[in-house]
C-alpha cells in the first residue's frame, strides 16, 4: 500500500470515529435549507402570469391612466355637445304675499252692494229686431255693471296674482362660432387618443416592472443557492482539513486558512439572503401583497422565450391588438414613429393646433338661434286649472361680436401659439430620444444573447473542474489554494449564468413591449439599480471567496456605478 493510500485510509477511519462519537454541528446552509423547506410548505406558488394579472388589477398607475381616459372622454362629450341643439325644460312656482298692484282698477269705485248684479243685467241679450233706442239702453246698463265690478282685473294677467305657475321649454342652436367649436372638438379627439395611448403605455411599463421584479427575485434565489452551496463546500473542506490535522497530515496554517475561508463565506451568504429579501419586498409591493407572505416562484429563470410570450399575451389581453395574436406581437416594433411617447406628442400637436384655431376664432362673430315657449297659470287657489293658461312663445336670433376686450383675445392667441411651438419642439426631441432608446434596447438584447451563449458551457466546465480538484485535494495531490480557486470559478460561472438568464429574459420582454413603453421608467430604474448593487455585492463576495478587503469594496463600487450609468442611459428620455 502506498503512502497516499495509507493517508486516505487513516483519514477515513478517523472521520468514522468522529461520526460515532457525536454528530457534528450542522452547517449554516443546512440549517437554512431546513427552515426554507418548512416555510415552503405553507408558501404561495406564484407564476409570472399570475403576478402580471395581480399587478394590473392592483396597479395605481394603471388606474390613474384609466381615470385620465375617462376624463378625456367626458371632455369629448362636452365639446361635441356644442354642435347639437340644446333643449331645457323649466318649472317654477311663486306665491305673492304683497303686491304693488293691489287696489288698482279702471272705470269707477268698488261695488259695495251685498247682492251681486244678475248676469242678465250685466250681459243682456239684444234681439235681432231691436230698435236703436233698445240697443243703446242695453249698452248703458252693461256699462254700469262694469263700473260696479271694480274695473280691469290685473291679477288675471299676472300682475299681483297670489299664485304663479310657469312651465316652459327653451331651445338654442349654435349656427356659427368662428371655428371655436370645431377647434375644441378636434382638441378633445386628440386628448382621447393621447389618454388611450397612455393607458397602453402604463400597462406595458407595469408588465416590464413586474417581469424585472419577478426575475430579480428568481435571480436572488439562485444566488442564495450558489452561496449556500459554497458555504457547504467550505464546511466540507474545513472538516477534511480538521481531520487531516488531527492525524498529522496537515499543518496548523492549513487548518486556520480553511477556518477563515469558511467564516468569511458566512457574511456573503447573509448578504445574498438580504438581497433576496429586498427583491421579494419589491415584488410584493408591485403586487400589493402582504410583506410577510411567503412566496414560491413557479416560472423558471432560464426559459426567456416562454417568458416573452406570457408577458406579451398578458399585455395584449383586452386590448385592440389582442386579436392579432401573441405570435405576431412577438415581433419587436422599433420604428420611431410607432413609439408611444411619439404618438402621444403627435396627438398633442394636433390638439394645440386646434386650440390655436379656436383662439383665432374669438375675433369672429357668433350666431345663435333661440326659442322659448311658456305656459303661465295665475290661480286664486294654490293649484292651477290646466285648461286655464296663458302662453308665451318667442323665436329669435342673436349675434355676438367682440369689439374691445382689452387684449384678452391677443393674449389667448399668443399662449396657443407658444404652446404649439413648444409641443412641436418636444415632439422632435422625443423622436430623437426614441431612436436612441430603440438602439439601446436592441444593443442590450444582443449583449444579453451573447452573454447567455458564452456562459452555456462555462458552468459545466467549472463544475467538472471543481469535482476533479476535490478528488485531488482528498488524495493529497492538490492544495487548499487550488481547491478554493476552483470553487471561486464555479461560483462565478454559476452566478454569471443566472445573471445572463435574467438579463436575456428582461431584454426580450422590453424589446417586445418597446412600442408601448415610455422612454423613462424612473421608479423601476432606481429599484433595478439598487437590486443590481446588492446582487453585485453578493456575486463579488463569492468571487473573493469571503476574503473581503479592498478588492471586494472596489468591485462593489464598480458594480454600483455601472448600474447607475446603465439606468441613466436607458432613462435618457422624458415622460410626456
User: Above 50 in pLDDT, residue 147?
Assistant: no
**β partners of residue 398:** 368
CA atoms of 530 and 535, how far apart (whole Å)? 9
Percent of the chain scored above 70 by pLDDT?
69
CA atoms of 126 and 341, how far apart (whole Å)? 92
Residue 68 CB coordination number (10 Å): 17
User: Above 50 in pLDDT, residue 14?
Assistant: no
**Alpha-carbon separation of residue 118 from 126, 127, 180 (angstroms):** 16, 19, 67
User: Above 60 in pLDDT, residue 6?
Assistant: no
**Alpha-carbon separation of residue 188 from 200, 321, 348 (angstroms):** 19, 24, 10
For the stretch 425-451, what's the b/e string if a residue is b when 16 or more beta carbons lie within 10 angstroms of its beta carbon?
ebbeebbebbebbbeebeebbeebbeb
CA atoms of 575 and 192, how far apart (whole Å)? 18
- Average pLDDT on 311-323 reads 63
For residue 428, give the H/E element and its range: helix 408-454
User: Above 90 in pLDDT, residue 188?
Assistant: yes
- Average pLDDT on 44-69 reads 90
The pLDDT-based confidence of 328 (bands split at 50, 70, 90) is: very low
Helix, strand or coil, per DSSP, at residue 44: strand
Residue bearing the bigger pLDDT, 555 or 11: 11
pLDDT value of position 105: 53
User: Above 50 in pLDDT, residue 281?
Assistant: yes
Sheet with 86-95, edge to edge strand ranges? 86-95, 163-176, 366-377, 390-400
User: Above 70 in pLDDT, residue 13?
Assistant: no
User: Above 70 in pLDDT, residue 110?
Assistant: no
- Average pLDDT on 350-377 reads 93
- Average pLDDT on 402-408 reads 92
- Average pLDDT on 193-218 reads 93
Superfamily of domain 3-82+192-322+449-570 in CATH is: Outer membrane efflux proteins (OEP) (1.20.1600.10)
The pLDDT-based confidence of 253 (bands split at 50, 70, 90) is: confident
CA atoms of 95 and 268, how far apart (whole Å)? 88
pLDDT value of position 39: 43
pLDDT value of position 127: 72
CA atoms of 492 and 495, how far apart (whole Å)? 5
CA atoms of 554 and 540, how far apart (whole Å)? 10
DSSP assignment of 340-374:
HHHHHHHHHHHHHHHHHHHHHGGGS-EEEEEEEEE
The pLDDT-based confidence of 23 (bands split at 50, 70, 90) is: very low
How big is the CA angle at 395 (ends 392 and 397), to the nearest 5 degrees?
Answer: 145
Q: Counting Cβ atoms within 10 Å, is residue 136 exposed (0-12), middle (13-18) or buried (19+)?
A: exposed
pLDDT tens, residue by residue, 459-513: 778 878 878 877 887 777 777 777 778 778 888 888 888 899 899 989 989 988 9
How big is the CA angle at 213 (ends 266 and 340), to the nearest 5 degrees?
Answer: 155
CA atoms of 104 and 158, how far apart (whole Å)? 13
**Alpha-carbon separation of residue 316 from 304, 311, 326 (angstroms):** 18, 9, 8
| Mean pLDDT value across the chain | 76
Q: What is the dihedral of CA 480, 481, 487, 493, to 10 degrees?
A: -160
User: Above 90 in pLDDT, residue 73?
Assistant: yes
For 386-544, where are the E strands, in sequence order? 390-400
User: Above 60 in pLDDT, residue 193?
Assistant: yes
Quickly tell me which residue has 349654435 as its cell.
Answer: 174
DSSP at 276? H
pLDDT tens, residue by residue, 230-251: 888 888 888 888 888 888 777 8
φ/ψ of 367, rounded to 5, equals -120, 140
Name the grid cell of 183.
Answer: 377647434
The pLDDT-based confidence of 544 (bands split at 50, 70, 90) is: very low
Interhelix angle 522-543/252-287, rounded to 10 degrees, is: 170
CA atoms of 224 and 534, how far apart (whole Å)? 12
Contact 398, 423 (CB under 8 A): no
CA atoms of 271 and 552, how far apart (whole Å)? 13
Name the grid cell of 223.
Answer: 444566488
Helix, strand or coil, per DSSP, at residue 106: coil
For residue 92, give the H/E element and its range: strand 86-95
pLDDT value of position 96: 85
DSSP at 109? -
pLDDT value of position 346: 95
pLDDT value of position 18: 39
What ranges do the domains of the chain cover? 3-82+192-322+449-570
Percent of the chain scored above 90 by pLDDT?
36
User: Above 90 in pLDDT, residue 114?
Assistant: no
**Alpha-carbon separation of residue 508 from 309, 379, 512, 538, 572 (angstroms):** 10, 81, 6, 25, 20
Name the nearest CA neighbour of 14 among 26, 1, 24, 25: 24
Contact 96, 161 (CB under 8 A): yes
Amino acid at each position: 500500500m502506498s503512502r497516499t493510500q495509507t493517508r486516505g485510509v487513516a483519514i477515513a477511519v478517523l472521520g468514522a470515529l468522529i461520526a460515532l462519537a457525536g454528530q457534528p454541528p450542522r452547517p449554516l446552509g443546512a440549517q437554512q435549507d431546513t427552515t426554507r423547506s418548512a416555510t415552503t410548505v405553507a408558501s404561495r406558488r406564484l407564476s409570472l402570469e399570475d403576478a402580471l394579472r395581480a399587478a394590473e388589477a392592483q396597479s395605481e398607475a394603471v388606474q390613474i391612466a384609466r381615470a385620465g381616459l375617462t376624463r378625456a372622454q367626458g371632455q369629448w362629450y362636452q365639446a361635441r355637445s356644442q354642435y347639437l341643439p340644446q333643449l331645457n325644460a323649466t318649472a317654477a312656482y311663486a306665491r305673492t304675499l304683497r303686491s304693488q298692484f293691489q287696489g288698482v282698477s279702471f272705470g269707477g269705485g268698488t261695488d259695495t252692494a251685498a247682492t251681486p248684479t244678475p248676469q242678465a243685467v250685466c250681459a243682456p241679450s239684444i234681439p235681432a229686431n231691436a230698435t236703436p233706442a233698445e240697443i243703446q239702453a242695453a249698452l248703458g246698463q252693461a256699462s254700469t255693471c262694469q263700473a260696479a265690478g271694480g274695473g280691469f282685473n290685473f291679477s288675471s294677467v299676472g300682475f299681483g296674482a297670489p299664485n304663479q305657475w310657469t312651465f316652459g321649454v327653451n331651445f338654442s342652436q349654435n349656427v356659427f362660432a368662428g371655428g371655436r367649436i370645431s377647434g375644441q372638438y378636434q382638441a378633445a379627439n386628440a386628448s382621447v387618443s393621447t389618454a388611450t395611448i397612455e393607458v397602453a403605455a402604463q400597462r406595458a411599463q407595469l408588465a416590464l416592472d413586474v417581469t424585472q421584479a419577478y426575475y430579480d427575485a428568481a435571480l436572488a434565489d439562485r444566488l442564495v443557492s450558489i452561496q449556500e452551496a459554497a458555504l457547504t463546500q467550505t464546511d466540507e473542506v474545513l472538516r477534511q482539513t480538521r481531520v487531516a490535522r488531527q492525524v498529522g497530515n496537515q499543518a496548523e496554517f492549513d487548518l486556520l486558512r480553511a477556518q477563515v475561508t469558511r467564516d468569511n463565506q458566512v457574511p456573503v451568504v447573509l448578504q445574498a439572503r438580504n438581497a433576496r429579501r429586498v427583491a421579494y419586498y419589491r415584488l410584493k409591493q408591485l403586487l400589493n401583497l402582504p410583506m410577510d407572505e411567503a412566496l414560491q416562484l413557479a416560472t423558471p429563470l432560464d426559459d426567456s422565450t416562454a417568458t416573452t410570450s406570457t408577458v406579451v399575451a398578458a399585455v395584449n389581453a383586452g386590448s385592440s391588438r389582442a386579436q392579432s395574436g401573441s405570435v405576431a406581437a412577438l415581433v419587436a416594433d422599433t420604428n420611431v414613429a410607432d413609439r408611444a411617447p411619439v404618438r402621444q406628442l403627435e396627438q398633442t400637436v394636433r390638439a394645440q393646433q386646434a386650440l390655436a384655431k379656436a383662439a383665432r376664432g374669438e375675433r369672429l362673430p357668433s350666431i345663435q338661434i333661440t326659442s322659448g315657449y311658456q305656459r303661465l297659470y295665475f290661480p286664486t287657489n294654490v293649484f292651477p286649472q290646466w285648461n286655464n293658461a296663458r302662453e308665451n312663445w318667442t323665436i329669435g336670433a342673436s349675434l355676438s361680436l367682440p369689439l374691445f376686450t382689452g387684449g384678452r383675445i391677443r393674449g389667448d392667441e399668443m399662449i396657443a401659439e407658444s404652446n404649439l411651438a413648444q409641443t412641436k419642439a418636444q415632439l422632435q426631441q422625443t423622436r430623437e430620444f426614441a431612436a436612441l432608446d430603440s438602439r439601446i434596447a436592441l444593443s442590450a438584447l444582443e449583449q444579453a444573447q451573447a452573454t447567455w451563449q458564452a456562459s452555456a458551457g462555462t458552468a459545466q466546465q467549472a463544475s467538472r473542474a471543481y469535482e476533479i480538484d476535490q478528488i485531488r485535494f482528498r488524495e493529497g495531490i492538490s492544495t487548499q489554494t487550488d481547491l478554493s480557486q476552483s470553487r471561486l470559478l464555479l461560483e462565478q460561472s454559476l452566478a454569471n449564468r443566472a445573471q445572463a438568464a435574467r438579463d436575456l429574459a428582461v431584454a426580450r420582454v422590453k424589446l417586445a413591449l418597446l412600442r408601448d413603453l415610455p422612454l423613462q421608467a424612473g421608479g423601476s430604474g432606481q429599484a433595478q439599480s439598487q437590486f443590481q448593487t446588492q446582487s453585485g455585492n453578493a456575486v463579488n463576495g463569492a468571487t473573493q471567496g469571503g476574503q473581503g478587503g479592498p478588492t471586494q469594496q472596489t468591485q462593489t463600487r464598480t458594480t454600483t456605478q455601472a448600474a447607475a450609468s446603465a439606468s441613466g442611459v436607458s432613462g435618457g428620455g422624458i415622460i410626456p
